[in-house]
Structure 1
Amino acid sequence: MNWKGYTVIYVVLFAFATAQAVVEFAGLVESAYWLAFGVIMVLSVVKAVGVAAYYQHLRWEPRSVTYLVLGGTVAAMALTFAAAYSIL
């Protein structure tokens, strides 16, 4: 991938991060918590996939490596949700 591609991905990630900040600072968190939470989570997942695919080069790796990373991510998320649930 050339510098142009990395620059495009960087600009997209920057735009999504800015959108997350706008959602948070627009007051949606207090008035429509679950809507703001959903928007921020969707943008976070899109950003994480973009970083993994392009900056960690998973897009060009064999699918087995991608599935291995995906399995680790799912396990980490399951442990995070379990820990959060145990706090409640």
Structure 2
Amino acid sequence: MKNTRLTLILSSIIFLLLIPLVAMQFTDEVDWDFFDFTIMGILLLITGLSIEFVLRRFRRIQERILISGAILFIFFLVWAELAVGIFGSPWAGS
């Protein structure tokens, strides 16, 4: 039963990566290459496994929510930086 969440995490990653793959078939607005899918897959995997670790490690619901929220916040910041370069780092996508 422990691996149920892990299976859900991996399935969710595949589903989320299918969204831009399908969108690329219908529009030119989405233009991802193998590198983009790889980076997003790694980001989603790290985020999912980090939250899984938090859920296994911490028992108090307040700790789980706070730490998971911080992980998601960091994920969204990295995603935004890679997508449009909100901080202007060398890794910016724009």
- Both structures adopt the same fold (TM-score exceeding 0.5): no
- The structure where helix makes up a greater share of residues is 1
Interval containing the TM-score (normalised by the shorter chain) = 0.3 to 0.5
TM-score w.r.t. the length of structure 1 is 0.45
TM value normalised by structure 2:
0.43
